[in-house]
Amino acid sequence: MGANLRVGFIGAGKMASALAQGFIKGQAVKCASHVSASCPIADKHLLEHMKQMGCQTFHCNKELMDCSDVVILAVKPQIMPLVLPDIKSLVASKLMVSIAAGVQLAQLQADLNPDSKIVRLMPNTPCIVREGVSVFCSGPQVTPQDNATVKQLFGTVGQIDEVKESMIDAVTGVSGSGPAYMYLIIEAMADGGVKQGLPRDLAYKLAAQTMVGAGRMVLDTHTHPAVLKDEVCSPGGTTITALDMLEKSGLRTSIMQAVEAATKRCTQI
């Protein structure tokens, strides 16, 4: 990845904004002006945050393509058929990265051209604090150097792994949508703390940091979550009593069903 890499976002929604902030903070680009975003004039309010960061903004995708080495397709899946014909003639020398859920490489390749270098990638919003997780798969025209660029670029905002395309929808169900599941759990834990007399700000801090710490334990110790869970549970103690309540309420099954529902939704988009 060159020091002068220029990254463009077609689409300027929350995921594009999160990635842009992460790339700038992680120094994946030389400066904020090496990041650009475009969207229709009707959605110009979406560009305000990009402008505040110092990014270039456009209402013309061609102008964005002209000043970008890597172009990230960050529009909703249903908007993709409207965007691709507009840029079809401009993609020959660009590395294109689609983050649209459910849109397969074959579809992207067909709507652009057979020589297009296309990567399908699923990030998540914690990229904004450089604690994201992304997975990607590459089209047939993508070179090892292109793959290295993707790994280095998205590696500045969190973890990055290459997978088979058949796994991407399930990844969306786990990590793409997953932050929302975690926020719901944090909110519920904090509400429980408030119910028991804790101040609201302290309850949120305790719940959030507990989740961060538990995740870091899994990643850093490489210990199975069930083993780590058992280590917290004393015979007849508070934790095993709480876990018994969670099992009775169906928390485990509910989360598994949520991942399944999100995965299936990808195939319906």
Is 237 one of the annotated binding-site residues?
A: no
Is 99 one of the annotated binding-site residues?
A: no
Is 76 one of the annotated binding-site residues?
A: yes
Long-range contacts of 183-189 (CB under 8 A, 24+ apart): 185/211, 186/211
Is 75 one of the annotated binding-site residues?
A: yes
The CA distance from 176 to 73, in Å, is 16
The CA distance from 224 to 222, in Å, is 7
Is 24 one of the annotated binding-site residues?
A: no
The residues, ordered by sequence, that sit 6+ positions from 15 with a Cβ below 8 Å of its Cβ are: 74, 99, 123, 125
Q: Give ∠ CA 154-158-163 in degrees, rounded to 5.
A: 65
Is 15 one of the annotated binding-site residues?
A: yes
What are the beta bridge partners of residue 118?
A: 96
Is 229 one of the annotated binding-site residues?
A: no
Residues comprising the binding site for NADPH?
61
Residues comprising the binding site?
10-15, 61, 74-77
Residues comprising the binding site for NADP(+)?
10-15, 74-77
